[in-house]
């Protein structure tokens, strides 16, 4: 994007390729403003599947209302549990508020793990699922966020 928040031709070209290939557009680490501009441009280009990763990350944190708007525009929100034990990226309270406001239909759960600083992906997912269940998220909603939604996003 340029200094006036206009989409550059290179981004339009990438969005066209994503639409043509029926691929997933994953937005991560852009500003909130940029995310919304790109979502709108992607929809215009014919992109069908969009994921907004790390909406609670400190560098580009979205409010729950912004997350809800992104979901209403058709994007999935990717919540990752890389360091859920330390609460560095987000707190359980923030996550639960997002689930309450946005709903489980547009949230996908992942780990973002697999490197030395974080738990192994399987262990991280087990901890994340356990944390959701312990906080009262129904089994069917956990299954939707962990299994059904990611499958719909990818296929």
Domain ranges (residues) in the chain: 9-154
**Residue 84 pLDDT > 80:** no
**Residue 26: both structure tokens together:** 């994953």
Specify the pTM.
0.92
Q: What is the mean pLDDT of residues 117-139?
A: 92
Average pLDDT over all residues of the chain: 93
Q: Cα torsion at 145, 139, 86, 30 (round to 10°)?
A: 10
**Residue 145 pLDDT > 60:** yes
Query: For the domain bounded by 9-154, which CATH number is listed?
Result: 3.20.20.140
Q: Given strand 24-27, what is the order of strands in its sheet?
A: 24-27, 49-53, 76-80, 107-110
pLDDT of residue 1: 87
Q: What is the mean pLDDT of residues 97-121?
A: 91
pLDDT of residue 8: 96
Q: Which residue has the higher pLDDT, 121 or 105?
A: 105
Q: What are the tens digits of pLDDT across the range 50-74?
A: 999 999 988 889 999 999 999 999 9
**Residue 17: both structure tokens together:** 């390729």
């Amino acid at each position: 994007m340029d200094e006036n928040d206009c989409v550059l031709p290179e981004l339009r070209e990438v969005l066209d390729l994503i639409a043509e290939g029926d691929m997933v557009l994953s937005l991560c680490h852009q500003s909130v403003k940029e995310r919304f501009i790109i979502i709108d441009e992607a929809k215009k280009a014919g992109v069908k599947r969009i994921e907004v990763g790390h909406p609670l990350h400190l560098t580009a944190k979205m409010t729950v209302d912004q997350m809800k708007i992104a979901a209403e525009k058709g994007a999935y929100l990717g919540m990752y549990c890389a360091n859920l034990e330390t609460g560095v990226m987000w707190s359980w309270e923030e996550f639960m508020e997002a689930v309450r406001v946005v709903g489980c239909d547009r949230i996908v759960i992942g780990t973002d793990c697999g490197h030395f600083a974080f738990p192994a992906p399987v262990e991280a997912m087990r901890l994340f699922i356990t944390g959701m269940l312990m906080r009262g998220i129904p089994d069917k909603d956990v299954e939707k966020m962990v299994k059904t939604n990611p499958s719909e996003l990818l296929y």
